[in-house]
């Protein structure tokens, strides 16, 4: 993902600025984004540490264990070294187990749906745009926001969400596989046709942080001729702005 963001910056106006201090990931706007960021950082630290040890061993072997020109005889030949073989068997096993533990733990946290979100959004993906229908915890259903293919995410459908709230997303499509991606979430979810309503496989939750702003979103799965124009935006607002938005939009559901 980081490589994608870094290489795509020059050719798209909806890619957030990547920061080396965050491992080339954008600044996250949800609590779940922090989980992804920590897992990403930990994986890089472990990979760099492993690489440093391997490079160090290669240099050490090259300098201290090469055939000297003054000696023609072969060095002592051994068939095996039990301690070393145990070492290079157990260390990778421990590393893979640690990676598996943290990945499984964080994957469970990212896919958990408690069902008590203050705001629920039904996301309908279609060739080639989005339809957002928002329902609040008190049963108000807002007017659906429907988009058309656009070249700039500012012109696409805008999903307004409150800050510091738990949001539940229900993803649906009737045509082909799409992918719901907001880079600042630090993860994406595929929208797969044929999954029945109520199936937990089409839902996920996020808790927004105390941040406001407009953030780009797009389809991250090649879905047809206008895939690149399947753009939208998410606007995080304060409680006062959210209440005002509810007043103007509630009761207008189609």
Give me the domains of the chain, ranges plus CATH numbers.
31-111 (1.10.287.90), 119-249 (2.60.40.420)
Quick one: pLDDT at residue 10?
36
| Binned average pLDDT, 10 residues per bin, the chain of 254 residues | 42 65 87 94 91 91 74 72 86 91 94 92 96 90 94 95 95 96 94 90 94 95 95 95 87 48
Q: Which long-range contacts (CB under 8 A, 24 or more apart) does 43-51 make?
A: 43/99, 46/95, 46/98, 46/99, 50/95
d(C-alpha 137, C-alpha 174), whole Å:
27
Residues with Cβ < 8 Å from 235, sequence gap 6 or more? 158, 159, 160, 161, 213, 214, 215
In sequence order, the 6+-apart residues with CB closer than 8 A to the CB of 16 are 5, 26, 27, 183, 184, 215, 216
| pLDDT reported for residue 218 | 95
Which pLDDT value is given to residue 254?
Answer: 43
> Which helix (H) or strand (E) covers residue 129, if one does?
strand 129-136
Strand partners, 218: 181, 231
pLDDT of residue 253: 47
Q: What is the pLDDT of residue 78?
A: 74
Query: Hey, is 167 helix, strand or coil?
Result: strand
User: What pTM, to 2 d.p., does this model score?
Assistant: 0.82
Longest dimension (CA), the chain: 92
Q: What CA–CA distance (Å, rounded) separates 183 from 220?
A: 10
Q: How many CB atoms lie within 10 A of CB 44?
A: 13
What pLDDT does 11 receive?
Answer: 42
For residue 9, the model assigns a pLDDT of: 38
Give CA–CA dist 70/3, Å, rounded.
49
The answer to whether 114 touches 103, Cβ cutoff 8 Å, is no
pLDDT for 200 equals 86
């Amino acid at each position: 993902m980081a490589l994608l963001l870094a290489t795509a910056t020059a050719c798209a106006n909806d890619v957030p600025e990547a920061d080396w201090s965050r491992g080339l990931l954008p600044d996250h706007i949800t609590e779940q984004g922090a989980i992804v960021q920590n897992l990403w950082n930990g994986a890089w630290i472990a990979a760099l540490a492993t690489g440093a040890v391997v490079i160090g061993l290669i240099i050490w072997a090259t300098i201290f264990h090469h055939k000297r020109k003054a000696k023609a005889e072969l060095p002592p030949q051994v068939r095996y070294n039990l301690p070393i073989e145990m070492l290079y068997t157990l260390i990778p096993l421990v590393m893979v187990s640690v990676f598996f533990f943290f990945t499984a733990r964080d994957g469970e946290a990212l896919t958990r749906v408690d069902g008590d979100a203050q705001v629920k959004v039904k996301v309908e993906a279609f060739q080639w745009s989005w339809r957002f229908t928002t329902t609040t915890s008190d049963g108000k259903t807002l007017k659906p926001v429907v988009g058309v293919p656009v070249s700039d995410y500012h012109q696409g459908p805008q999903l307004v969400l409150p800050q510091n709230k738990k949001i539940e997303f229900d993803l649906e499509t009737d045509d082909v596989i799409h992918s719901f991606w907001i880079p600042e979430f630090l993860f994406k979810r595929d929208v797969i046709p044929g999954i029945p309503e109520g199936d937990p496989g089409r839902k996920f939750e996020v808790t927004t942080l105390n941040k406001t702003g407009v953030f780009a979103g797009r389809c991250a799965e090649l879905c047809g001729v206008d895939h690149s124009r399947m753009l939208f935006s998410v606007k995080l607002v304060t409680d006062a702005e959210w209440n005002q938005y509810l007043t103007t939009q509630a009761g207008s559901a189609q």
